[in-house]
A and B are shown apart, each in its own frame.
Chain A
Amino acid sequence: MWVEKYRPRSLDDIRDQDEIIRRLKRFVEAKAMPHCLFAGPPGTGKTTAALCLAHDMFGERFHEAFMELNASDARGIDVIRTTVKEFARAASISGLPFKILVLDEADNMTADAQHAMRRTMERYTQTCRFILCANYSGRIIEPIQSRCAIFRFTPLADEVVANFLMEIAGREGVKIGEGGLEAIVRVAAGDMRKAINTLQAAASMDKPVDEETVYSVLGLAKPGEVEELMEKTLSGRIDEARRILRSMLWSQGVSGLDLLKQIYHHMLDMDLPSDLKVDLVDTVGEVEYRLSQGADEEIQLTALLAKLSSKGASS
């Protein structure tokens, strides 16, 4: 996939996020760095920056001193106790100042797991530096935040996305047609992964990538987006919303919990009276708790959408 093929290998190759990159390069020069928290929306370069930093820091010996874990997949206190701790506490590799452990999607860790990790971070600071990547820094517990240098990644500028897409198109021999580039940039909204994936999918259609092709990618390869779900919900079509929900949960394998979070953020952005939002947030919290107790994802989410639909319509 092009997202991997064109992922920058060194900090020098990273476009945008200039201020952040400048600071990270200084870490490389000094062969020293604090624990870091990379916060920002998807596709803005958090994981890439972490990988590049480690590459530039360790060069050839990257593989000896680097470890990447995904908190969403390797969750829970047990993983922190075992894998993370083992890696962190082993003595540093000769000739290298320390090891780097990247924890992706760290905001998906439970508070308990985060507390457990906090102690590990402290104890093994000498031998290991942590880079936590998260969409929302607010979901990282305060004590960890205070031990980290926080870097806020923002959506990439349209220009940066457009230039990179042109470069890839050139190298892959992809012809860009009328309005194609603009359409991708618009839907990607600063998310480089989405931009590149959309380009690659559109290029598979064996004709110039124009506006129409881009929309057929977004239409046919429904990236399981919540927008449509919310639109049906707010126009009172719960039966149709449920159908979309079913397709996402059962066929596409989207996790109910993930979906719940997305609905939650969507909801907060909606133009609703504050007291109503508070009430809805309470419901969202209740749903998450119920899911943890083994309740059915589809049923709980459908009920939440129905509530949103009736309140959203009557307010």
Chain B
Amino acid sequence: MTQPWTVKYRPVSLDEVAGNSEAKKAFLSWLKDFQSGKAGKKAALLYGPPGTGKTVTVEAAARDLNLDLVEVNASDKRTGELLEKIAGRAATQGDLFGRRRIILLDEIDGINLQEDKGAVPIILKILSEAENPIVFTANDPWNPMIRPLRESSLLIEFKRLGLRDSIPFLRRICRLEGVEADDKLLKALVEKNNGDMRGILNDLEMLSSIKRVLSHRDVEWLAPRDRKEEIFNVIRRIFYAGDYHSARRAADQADMDYEMLFEWIYENTPYQLRDPRDLANALSALAKADLYIARVKRLQLWSLIPYALDLMTAGVASSKKYTRPAFTPVKFPERLRYMSRTMRDREAVKGLCGKIGSACHISARRCPTLMIPYLKFIFRHDERAAENIRREFDLTEEEVKLLKMD
């Protein structure tokens, strides 16, 4: 599997970090002061909303200055003891090669006071003994819990990325990925994610897996992160609705595109309705809804949409007769990923099947079952045989790649 874009395009050096140039400059000069013993504070607190570049700034600066980065994350179990073991020793020593260290305590406001009793005093103790610079990051620096830390730190604010900083960065990624996206779309993504670069990249990756040429309308495919809970609730309400109207109402309140709503319901039906009889009825209702949607699209008969909606909500809700109540988590429509990721491949497979089909006297339609599986097996195991077959059918590089793919 390839890496997610958030990893693939993680900045390596400080100039690659998008935006927040003042914050970056302040941080770098503090680090340099620290090294020459001039820094007033032993710690820096980088704060700001998620996805604004706090952590990557620390990582990139460490690399630029050749410092050994020791990182402790709040999502790790953070008992005071553990902290002391990891960060405490590191704070007073260099690494094996004598490189200076930098300690990063990420998401410091995520400390759970109940679980991590004594964490703050221990951090303060580490701080007082530290010979290496210590960096905290936090979304909310005014959290009273971390007040003592805040007071001993240099505060550096990271602001939400504006369009000026994020768009060029995104354009570069689109170019590298061979994705065509208009600025209107990129702008919409930045706005939708409130400048959270992690969120923007995730969205962009998801969209580009659906198609390579994107326009601003494609934003509709994404469920905003904060609306995820909302969708989950709508889905749950549909599956728990006792009657026609409450199911329909749940859908109306969803304020979702009906095709998207369909995908969510369809994905979750087999998990939510465990009894085979219920499931058969529900899927039959969904299949009819699908037919109505097809007619809406083909014949532009918009007036049919309500029937599709009724079938996919009330039709599914009223199918629940035998399934015993149980809590089942709501799942994301896998199918969207499936459809998208394989769309380009599907076209190429068609061409490949045409070629092999006509050489082997079978139809392109039967080729996927009669020939391709064996070809794939051979291509995976025997390079020489694969090369012969490539020449025999005059396959392009792209077609060879398809056959080598899982």
Contacts and interface: CB of A to CB of B under 8 A. Distances in A.
Nearest to B276: A310
B377 A314 contact: no
Contact of A204 (B280, B290, B385): B385
Q: Give chain B's interface secondary structure class.
A: helix
Contacts of A224: 368-369, 373
Interface stretch (A83-91, A92-100, A299-307): A299-307
Contacts of A304: 287
A242 B353 contact: no
Contacts of B354: 73
B374 A238 contact: no
Contacts of A51: 361
Interface stretch (A151-159, A161-169, A249-257): A249-257
A47 interface: yes
Contact of B377 (A204, A206, A250): A204
B129 interface: no
A42 B276 contact: no
B227 interface: no
Interface in B253-303: 266, 270-271, 276-277, 279-280, 282-284, 286-287, 290-291, 294-295, 297-298
B381 interface: yes
Among B282, B283, B385, chain A packs the most CB atoms within 10 A around the CB of B283
B10 interface: no
Contacts of A203: 382, 385
Given A204-B381, A206-B382, A3 B353 contact: no
Contacts of A300: 287, 290-291
Contacts of A72: 363-366
B276 A1 contact: no
A298 B335 contact: yes
A105 B363 contact: yes
Place the interface of chain B in its size category: 35 or more
A80 B391 CA distance: 33
A300 B291 CA distance: 9
B270 A238 contact: yes
A56 interface: no
A201 B283 contact: no
Interface in B287-341: 287, 290-291, 294-295, 297-298, 334-335, 338-339
Interface in A95-125: 104-105, 108
Contacts of B117: none
B373 A222 contact: yes
A196 B378 CA distance: 13
Given A293-B291, A306-B283, A193 B276 contact: no
Contacts of A1: 360, 371, 375, 389, 392
Contacts of A250: 338-339, 342, 346
A217 B290 contact: no
A268 to B, nearest CB: 19
B223 interface: no
B357 interface: yes
Contact of A70 (B277, B357, B368, B372): B357
Contacts of B298: 293-294
A59 B359 CA distance: 20
Given A1-B360, A206-B382, A252-B368, A239 B270 contact: yes
B26 interface: no
Interface of A, helix, strand, loop or mixed by DSSP: helix
Contacts of A299: 266, 283, 286-287, 290
Contacts, number: 174
A4 interface: yes
B291 A200 contact: no
B376 interface: yes
Contact of B369 (A206, A223, A238, A251): A223
B374 A294 contact: no
A149 interface: no
A4 B357 CA distance: 11
A139 to B, nearest CB: 15
Contacts of A310: 276-277, 279-280
B48 to A, nearest CB: 41
Contact of B368 (A4, A200, A254, A295): A254
Contact of B270 (A4, A221, A242, A287): A242
A200 B350 contact: no
A201 B374 contact: yes
B370 interface: yes
Interface of B: 266, 270-271, 276-277, 279-280, 282-284, 286-287, 290-291, 294-295, 297-298, 334-335, 338-339, 342, 345-346, 349-350, 353-354, 357-366, 368-378, 380-382, 385, 389, 392
Given A223-B369, A287-B287, A309-B280, 10 more contacts: A4-B360, A71-B363, A73-B364, A200-B385, A217-B377, A238-B279, A293-B295, A294-B298, A296-B290, A310-B276
Interface of A: 1, 3-4, 42, 47, 51, 68, 70-73, 104-105, 108, 193-194, 197-198, 200-201, 203-206, 217, 220-225, 236, 238-239, 242, 246, 250-255, 258, 287, 290, 293-296, 298-300, 302-304, 306-307, 309-311, 313-314
